[in-house]
Structure 1
Amino acid sequence: MDAFYIFLLVGTILVLAAAFSSLIAFRFGAPLLLVFLSIGLIAGVDGLGIAFDNFSLAYMLGSLALAIILFDSGFGTSIHSFRVAAWPALTLASVGVLVTASIFAFAAMLLLDFTWLEGLLLGSIVGSTDAAAVFFLLRIGGINIRDQVRSTLEVESGTNDPMAIFLTIALVEVIASGEGFAGLDAQFLLLFVQQMALGVLFGFLGGMMIVWVLNRFTKDRSLAPIFVLALALLVFAFTGAIGGSGFLAVYVAGIYAGNRKMFARESIARFHAGLTWLAQIIMFIVLGLLATPSQFPSIALPAVGLALFLVFIARPLAVWLSLLPFQMTQQETGFVAWVGLRGAVSILLAIMPLLGGLENGLLFFNTAFIIVLVSLLLQGWTIKPMAQKLGLIIPPRHGEIDKVELDLPGKSTHELLSYRVMKDSPVMRGERIPRWAMPSLVIRDGRSMRYQYAGRLQEGDQLYLFVTPPYIRLLDRLFASRLPVESDDEDFFGAFAVSPSRPAKELDTAYGPGLLSPAEQNMTIAELMIHRLGGRAEYADRVRFGSVVLIVRDLDENNAILSVGVSLEPVEPATTLPVFINMREIAHRVRDGLRRYRGKATSASAPDGKPSD
Structure 2
Amino acid sequence: MLPRATVPSDVSCCPLPSPPSPCHPAVRCPCVTVHHLDTLLLAFSVILLVAVVAVRLASRSALPSLLLYLGIGVALGQDGLGIAFDDASLTQVLGYAALVVILAEGGLSTSWTSIRPSVPAAAVLATVGTGVSVAVTATGAHLLTGADWRLSLLLGAVVSSTDAAAVFSVLRRVPLPSRLSGLLEAESGFNDAPVVILVVAFATTGPVDTWYVLLGSIVAQLAIGLVLGLAVGRLGALALRRVALPSSGLYPIAVVALTLFAYAGGALLDGSGFLAVYICALVLGNSRLPHGPATRGFTEGLAWIAQIGMFVLLGLLVNPHTMLHALVPALVVGLVLVLLARPMSVLLTMTPFRIAWREQALLSWAGLRGAVPIVLATIPVVADVPGADQLFNTVFLLVVMFTLLQGPTLPWVARNLGIGDPARAGRLDVESAPLERLHGHLLSLTLAPGSRLAGVEIAELRLPKGAAVTLVVRDGSSFVPGPTTVLRPDDDLLVVATDQVKDRAERRLRAVDRAGKLAGWLERRSEY
Give the TM-score normalised by structure 1.
0.71
How far residue 450 of structure 1 moved from its aligned partner, in angstroms, is: 2.3
Answer yes or no: is 1:59 the counterpart of 2:59: no
CA contact (8 A) 2:67 2:400 kept: yes
How far residue 216 of structure 1 moved from its aligned partner, in angstroms, is: 4.0
CA contact (8 A) 1:474 1:557 kept: no
Answer yes or no: is 1:192 the counterpart of 2:218: yes
CA contact (8 A) 1:102 1:120 kept: yes
Aligned-partner Cα distance in 2 for 1:16–1:280: 14
Answer yes or no: is 1:21 the counterpart of 2:27: no
CA contact (8 A) 1:402 1:419 kept: no
Aligned-partner Cα distance in 2 for 1:206–1:172: 31
Answer yes or no: is 1:472 the counterpart of 2:505: no
Aligned-partner Cα distance in 2 for 1:277–1:248: 20
State the partner residue of 1:214.
Answer: 240
Answer yes or no: is 1:41 the counterpart of 2:74: yes
CA contact (8 A) 1:104 1:309 kept: yes
How far residue 408 of structure 1 moved from its aligned partner, in angstroms, is: 3.8
Aligned-partner Cα distance in 2 for 1:394–1:460: 21
Aligned-partner Cα distance in 1 for 2:329–2:389: 15
Please state whether the residue corresponding to 1:409 is helix, strand or coil.
strand
CA contact (8 A) 1:421 1:458 kept: no
Query: How has the CA–CA distance of structure 1 residues 457 and 373 changed in structure 2, closer, same or farther, with 3 Å as cutoff?
Result: closer
How far residue 314 of structure 1 moved from its aligned partner, in angstroms, is: 1.2
State the partner residue of 2:432.
Answer: 407
Answer yes or no: is 1:159 the counterpart of 2:190: yes
How far residue 116 of structure 1 moved from its aligned partner, in angstroms, is: 2.1
Of 371, 376, 382, 1:344 maps to: 371
State the partner residue of 2:102.
Answer: 69
Please state whether the residue corresponding to 1:19 is helix, strand or coil.
helix
Aligned-partner Cα distance in 2 for 1:460–1:264: 19
CA contact (8 A) 2:69 2:311 kept: yes
Amino acid corresponding to residue 366 of structure 1 in structure 2 = N
State the partner residue of 2:162.
Answer: 129
Of 330, 338, 342, 1:311 maps to: 338
Answer yes or no: is 1:119 the counterpart of 2:152: yes
CA contact (8 A) 2:447 2:453 kept: no
Please state whether the residue corresponding to 2:479 is helix, strand or coil.
strand
Answer yes or no: is 1:234 the counterpart of 2:264: no
State the partner residue of 1:204.
Answer: 230
Aligned-partner Cα distance in 2 for 1:559–1:195: 40
CA contact (8 A) 1:207 1:256 kept: yes
How far residue 422 of structure 1 moved from its aligned partner, in angstroms, is: 8.5
How far residue 16 of structure 1 moved from its aligned partner, in angstroms, is: 1.6
Aligned-partner Cα distance in 2 for 1:423–1:92: 32
State the partner residue of 1:451.
Answer: 481
Query: How has the CA–CA distance of structure 1 residues 303 and 414 changed in structure 2, closer, same or farther, with 3 Å as cutoff?
Result: same
Provide the alpha-carbon RMSD of the alignment.
Answer: 3.1
Aligned-partner Cα distance in 2 for 1:441–1:164: 50
Aligned-partner Cα distance in 2 for 1:440–1:402: 22
For the pair shown, the structure with the greater C-alpha radius of gyration is: 1
Query: How has the CA–CA distance of structure 1 residues 292 and 155 changed in structure 2, closer, same or farther, with 3 Å as cutoff?
Result: same
State the partner residue of 2:309.
Answer: 282
Amino acid corresponding to residue 451 of structure 1 in structure 2 = P
Query: How has the CA–CA distance of structure 1 residues 361 and 427 changed in structure 2, closer, same or farther, with 3 Å as cutoff?
Result: closer
Amino acid corresponding to residue 406 of structure 1 in structure 2 = E
Query: How has the CA–CA distance of structure 1 residues 358 and 256 changed in structure 2, closer, same or farther, with 3 Å as cutoff?
Result: same
Answer yes or no: is 1:440 the counterpart of 2:473: no
Aligned-partner Cα distance in 2 for 1:214–1:307: 45
State the partner residue of 1:391.
Answer: 418
Please state whether the residue corresponding to 1:359 is helix, strand or coil.
coil
Larger deviation, residues 465-474 vs 269-278: 465-474
Give the TM-score normalised by structure 2.
0.82
How far residue 559 of structure 1 moved from its aligned partner, in angstroms, is: 10
How far residue 202 of structure 1 moved from its aligned partner, in angstroms, is: 0.9
Aligned length: 475
CA contact (8 A) 2:255 2:284 kept: no
How far residue 119 of structure 1 moved from its aligned partner, in angstroms, is: 0.8
How far residue 83 of structure 1 moved from its aligned partner, in angstroms, is: 2.2
Deviations along 1:442-476, one digit per CA (max 9) or x if unpaired, are: 34676543213997778986554564424435347
Amino acid corresponding to residue 234 of structure 2 in structure 1 = M
Aligned-partner Cα distance in 1 for 2:365–2:450: 38
Amino acid corresponding to residue 432 of structure 2 in structure 1 = D
Please state whether the residue corresponding to 2:354 is helix, strand or coil.
coil
What are the equivalent positions in structure 2 for 1:178-577 lying under 5 Å apart? Answer: 181-182=208-209, 184-217=210-243, 218-396=245-423, 405-409=430-434, 416-419=443-446, 434-437=460-463, 438-443=468-473, 448-452=478-482, 462-465=492-495, 467-475=505-513, 556-558=522-524
Please state whether the residue corresponding to 1:96 is helix, strand or coil.
helix
Aligned-partner Cα distance in 1 for 2:487–2:343: 52
Query: How has the CA–CA distance of structure 1 residues 558 and 34 changed in structure 2, closer, same or farther, with 3 Å as cutoff?
Result: farther
Aligned-partner Cα distance in 1 for 2:293–2:489: 26
Aligned-partner Cα distance in 2 for 1:113–1:458: 63
Query: How has the CA–CA distance of structure 1 residues 323 and 372 changed in structure 2, closer, same or farther, with 3 Å as cutoff?
Result: same
Aligned-partner Cα distance in 1 for 2:253–2:448: 34
Between Structure 1 and Structure 2, the one with more helix by share is 2
State the partner residue of 1:510.
Answer: none
Query: How has the CA–CA distance of structure 1 residues 261 and 373 changed in structure 2, closer, same or farther, with 3 Å as cutoff?
Result: same
